[in-house]
Amino acid sequence: MANNSHAHLVMAALEGRRPVQMPDVEPGVLASWMRSVTEHGLEPDRIVEPDVLTHAELQVRRAPIEEMSAYSSPEIDRLFQSLSDHAQVVMLSDAQGVVMHFRSASTVVDTCSNLRVLPGSVWNEEKQGTTGVGLCLREQKPLSVVMSEHFATKLAGLSCTVAPIFGAEGRLAGVLNVTAMRSTDHTLQAVVRQMVASSARRIENVFFDRRHVRARVLRLSRHDDFSDTAAEARLAVDESGRIIDATPNAARLLRSVSINGRARELPEQLIGRKFSAIVDAGHVERLLQDPLATLEGVNGRIHLRVTEPPRRAPVKVQDIDVAPRAARLAPQSAAPKVSTSKAATAPTLEEIVGHDEAMLERLRFAQRLHARGLPLLLQGETGSGKTQLARALHEDGPHRAGGFVSINCAAIPQELIESELFGHRPGAFTGAARQGSPGRLMGAHGGTLFLDEIGDMPLGLQGRLLQVLSEGEFVPVGATEPVQVRFALISASLRDLQALVQEGRFREDLYYRLSGATLALPPLRERTDLDQLVERAFARAATEAGVDDCPLGAAAMDVLRRHRWPGNIRELQHVAKFSVAINDDGVIGLSSLPASLREQVECAEPAEPLVGRKGGPASPPAVKRQVSDAESLLTLMERTGWNVSAAAAQLGISRATLHRRLNEFDVHRPRRQPH
Domain coordinates of the chain in residue numbers?
3-210, 214-307, 313-344+529-617, 357-520, 623-675
According to CATH, what is the number of the domain 623-675? Answer: 1.10.10
Please compute the mean of the pLDDT values over residues 67-72 and round it to a whole number. 76
Mean pLDDT of the chain, nearest integer: 77
> Above 80 in pLDDT, residue 141?
yes
- Go through the chain and tell me how many residues it has: 675
Percent of the chain with pLDDT over 90: 19
Longest dimension (CA), the chain: 83
Q: 244 near 259, Cβ under 8 Å? A: no
pTM of the model: 0.49
- pLDDT higher for 141 or 323? 141
List pLDDT tens digits, range 576-618: 888 888 887 778 888 888 877 876 655 544 433 333 333 444 4
Tell me the C-alpha to C-alpha distance, in Å, between residue 424 and each of 88, 119, 326, 329, 473: 32, 19, 49, 51, 15
Q: 532 near 329, Cβ under 8 Å? A: yes
Least confident of 311-320, 499-508, 525-534: 311-320
According to CATH, what is the number of the domain 313-344+529-617? Answer: 1.10.8.60
Exposure class string for 37-60: b at 16+ Cβ within 10 A, else e = beeeebebeebeebbbbbbeebee
Determine the Cα–Cα distance for residues 419 and 417; give it in Å rounded to an integer: 6
Tell me the C-alpha to C-alpha distance, in Å, between residue 176 and each of 195, 231, 442, 645: 11, 17, 35, 22
The neighbouring-strand residues paired with 41 are none
Alpha helices in 89-243 (DSSP H): 109-115, 125-128, 132-139, 186-211
Fold of the CATH domain 3-210: Beta-Lactamase (3.30.450)
- pLDDT higher for 173 or 312? 173
Element (H, E) at 331: none
Tell me the C-alpha to C-alpha distance, in Å, between residue 551 and each of 54, 330, 557: 43, 17, 10
Least confident of 142-156, 176-190, 540-554: 540-554
Please compute the mean of the pLDDT values over residues 38-44 and round it to a whole number. 91
Res 20: pLDDT: 42
Most confident of 111-115, 231-235, 352-356: 231-235
Cα dihedral sign for 174, 175, 176, 180? negative
Fold of the CATH domain 357-520: Rossmann fold (3.40.50)
Please compute the mean of the pLDDT values over residues 545-562 and round it to a whole number. 84
